[in-house]
Structure 1
Amino acid sequence: MHKAIKNKSRLLCGLKRAKADLTTAKFILYYGPSVADSDIYDLTDSKNLLEDEHLDLSKNTVLYLHGYLEDPDVESMHVIAEAYLDRNDTNLICLDWGELADGNYIFDAVVNAKQLGPYLAKVLLEMFDHGLDIEKLHIVGHSLGGQMAGIIGREILKRSKGTMKIKRITGLDPAFPLFYFTAGLANHINKNDAEFVDIIHTDAWLYGAPSSSGTVDFWPNGGKTLQPGCPQRNYKMLSDNDLSSHRRSWWFWAESVSDRFPIKFDAVAAKSWEEFKQKKIEESDQTVVMGHNCPTTVHGDFYLQTNGVTPFARGKEGITYVDPKELMGNNNTYEVTVPEK
């Protein structure tokens, strides 16, 4: 009887290996001018991807990993892709792992991420051998994709016996459930996964990571629900309403990437959100911004406030605390849209 309970416990914790077809995952190379302009490759066809005429290996390359229950047709993928297409200095490759990120979170998605991460590390190592510059690769992941980014980073380090390390990994509100306070059942993203790991928290303790673990951790609006402008939660799990604060992380990231937004997410170091509110900040001669242009020389916890509507960044105004009602408060419900070009 004890054995049966133990096995059931292992299944509930997501430790039982799921039957996952990793070959369903695809690379999507977006080259613009719209998100409809893209080339799709099997993970086993990475050599041809590197030879694609739309991929410029002299540029920086971003690999974006979407989250749980997402696929290339969701809003986050389009917003992220459009933001990078505004730039001319970056290749964008998105991972479509929609079939593997589906189903039950514990039984399917987390287990699949733990299997897909090492496989992607193997594929990336092969791509480095065929011309992809590891020094120019930046992995960005949202939610469960953020946790998988960490898995990839540590697997590359392990498989290369410590000789290769991803330059930068960004976690956009990395998934909380099963990755924290679970006695190592699923190791969470951390500062050792890349040379520089920046994490943006927007829904801490609910869908998002509850604690600092990156080289630098950003806590916009305290890093928790409700983010300014988000509707009061109805606590219907995984509904648009309930996910609003969790999704703000990729909205903030996309805005920081796009050249259409001149105002940046200025942030300041502080020991806590409460000390930030009391203007007890750590003085620095260096301007620190959250997002794409974050300097890779900083470390620690940084705080800021954002607007409740796009554009979200407040520049220098965002580092001095104001009443959240001035930012379009929590009771406002509206659809957030990206300005037209």
Structure 2
Amino acid sequence: MFKAVKIKSRLLMGLKTAHADLTIAKLIHFYGPTYADSNIFNIDDYKSLLEDSNFSKTKNTVLYIHGYLEDADIESVHVIVDAYLQRNDVNLIILDWGELANGNYMFDAVVNCKQLASVLARNLIAMFEMGLDIDKFHIVGHSLGGQMAGIIGREVFRRNGKTKKLPRLSALDPAFPLFYGTFSYHLSKHDAEFVDVIHTDAWIYGAPVSTGTADFWPNGGTTLQPGCPKRNYKLLSDNDLSSHRRSWWFWAESVKKEFPHQFYAVKAKNWADFKNGKYVDNEEQRVVMGHDCPTNITGDYYLQTNGIQPYARDIAGITYVHPAKLVGNSPTENEGVEPSKT
């Protein structure tokens, strides 16, 4: 059973001090068929990981990075691992930085995020030199892990003399606090050849602006996501995090392909235009959000989802309907605040 996040006395700014020893971070290679089928490696023991008999250099490799106050036993990691293990066509590595992602958000977790990203970038370059194919490498990160993915991408590009970028970064509702301001550096389209972003809690825990090559705004990208309870605003409670977490539920569903429907989306200038059926160039050109997103697209894309699994509505998701008509949603759905664009 996955471990629940313990919120007691952990406010956004935190009271507990996190350890700053970056070597406590681990890389966990899940090779299946079950969650228990995995090998754990120290962050600097990447040579052993590449030499693991269960690791294949011919497959695509995905590195998943969890967010603040999470670790490898959290629900999101279990859901993501389960989804990828259904495919059997990727090497799945989870970065377990649970102790470093703990404590005071500003002075512990964010600082550790940036420092650990530099270490990972250095180690990834060494792994690429040892035969790991950079063109088959993909980082997926949720919340603070999404911002770490951007830093890793930047660092890999800088450290290899700006000659080669990572091919793809996918950020699932990348963290908003402390990353978007005059003197802040956040995930951007320049951090990889292709950066796709899924927004589900803009302006609260998630990024409020378009920040990737392609940005997806399911249900407008803001709270409340369909099926989420009315927020009680108890910081970091399950209730409060429901919309923020919906991004990794969407991602896992797109990976697992358990259901026949896809997350079709269309390009529009904003949520209001999408609701009115006004698409860019008046074309109903649909693309898929999630794992199978095409990497030759740019701009902002919109769609609606259900409030329960399956979340994807297939073609129906690109035509706006009143939120009360969505499967699994409350008729009192609040569509939130229109996100801004940069």
With the length of structure 1 as denominator, give the TM-score of the two structures.
0.90
Q: Which one-letter code corresponds to 2:211 in the other structure? A: S
SS of corresponding position for 1:28: strand
Could you tell me whether the CA contact under 8 Å between 2:323 and 2:331 is conserved in 1? no
Q: Distance in 2 between matches of 1:287 and 1:321?
A: 14
CA distance in 1, matches of 2:321, 2:141: 30
The count of corresponding residues between Structure 1 and Structure 2 is 317
- Deviation track 1:96-143 (CA, whole Å, cap 9, x = no partner) reads 000100001011000100100111000100100111100000000000
| Structure 2 partner of 1:175 | 175
1:66 match: 66
Cα deviation digits, residues 74-94 of structure 1 (max 9, x gap): 100000000000002111000
Counterpart of 2:197?
A: 199
In the alignment, structure 1 residue 301 sits paired with structure 2 residue 292: no
Is contact 1:232-1:331 (8 Å) kept? Answer: no
1:286 Cα offset (Å): 5.0
What TM-score do the two structures reach when normalised by structure 2?
0.90
Moved more, 276-285 or 21-30: 276-285
Mapped to 2, the partners of 1:88 and 1:329 lie a distance apart of: 33
Give yes or no for contact 2:266–2:285 (8 Å, CA) kept in 1.
no
Distance between the aligned counterparts of 1:195 and 1:261, measured in 2?
A: 30
CA separation in 2, counterparts of 1:75 and 1:294? Answer: 24
> 1:265 touches 1:291 (CA, 8 Å); kept in 2?
yes
Q: Distance in 2 between matches of 1:173 and 1:265?
A: 16
Other-structure match for 1:232: 230
SS at match of 1:240: coil
Is the CA contact (8 Å cut-off) linking 2:63 and 2:93 kept in structure 1?
A: yes
Q: Which residue of 2 aligns with 1:3?
A: none
Letter matched to residue 83 of structure 2: A
Paired residue for 1:222, among 220, 223, 235? 220
Secondary structure of the 1:317 match is: helix
Alignment of 1:164 onto 2:164: yes
Give the alignment of 1:99-248 within 5 angstroms.
Answer: 99-181=99-181, 183-185=182-184, 187-248=185-246
Cα displacement (A) at 1:331: 6.6
Give the 5 Å matches for 1:80-99: 80-99=80-99
- The equivalent of 1:75 in structure 2 is 75
The CA distance in 2 between the partners of 1:203 and 1:154, in whole Å, is 25
> What secondary structure is seen at the aligned counterpart in 2 of 1:29?
strand
Q: Displacement, 1:213?
A: 1.1
Q: Secondary structure at the match of 2:45?
A: helix
2:249 is matched with: 251
- Identity over aligned pairs, percent: 65
1:336 alignment partner in structure 2? none
Compared with structure 1, are the counterparts of its residues 49 and 332 closer, same or farther at alpha carbon in structure 2 (3 Å cutoff)?
farther
Q: Which runs of 4+ in 1 moved over 6 A?
A: none
Structure 2 segments unaligned to the other structure (5+ residues): 1-12, 334-342
What is the root-mean-square deviation in Å for CA atoms of aligned residues?
1.8
- Pairwise CA distance, 1:95: 0.2
What residue number does 1:41 align with?
41
Q: Does 1:324 align with 2:328?
A: no
1:184 Cα offset (Å): 2.2
- Tell me the amino acid that sits aligned with residue 204 of structure 1: A
Distance change (3 Å), C-alpha of 1:177 and 1:330: farther
Deviation of 1:329 (Å): 2.6
Q: Does 1:274 align with 2:242?
A: no
Q: Distance in 2 between matches of 1:131 and 1:285?
A: 42
1:68 deviates by 0.2
User: Are the aligned partners of 2:267 and 2:285 in contact in 1 as well (CA < 8 Å)?
Assistant: no
Contact 1:150 1:169 in 2 (8 A): yes
User: CA 1:196 to 1:242, structure 2 compared with 1: closer, same or farther past 3 Å?
Assistant: same
Work out whether 1:56 is the aligned partner of 2:56: yes
Q: Secondary structure at the match of 1:301?
A: strand
Question: SS of 2:197's equivalent?
Answer: strand
Conserved in 2, the CA contact under 8 Å of 1:305 and 1:321? yes
Cα distance in 2 between the residues matched to 1:267 and 1:246 = 19
| 3-state SS, counterpart of residue 245 of structure 1 | helix
Counterpart position of 1:337: none
Once the two structures are TM-superposed, the CA of residue 330 in structure 1 deviates from its matched residue by 4.0
Check 1:26–1:120 CA distance in 2 against 1; reply closer, same or farther (3 A cut).
Answer: same
Label 1:38 to 1:319 Cα distance change in 2 as closer, same or farther (>3 A): same
Offset at residue 19 of structure 1 (A): 6.5
1:208 and 1:112, CA in 2 relative to 1: closer, same or farther beyond 3 A?
A: same
Cα deviation, residue 259, structure 1:
2.7
CA change 1:126–1:141 in 2 (3 A) is: same
Contact 2:19 2:100 in 1 (8 A): no
Deviation at 1:43, TM superposition (A): 1.3
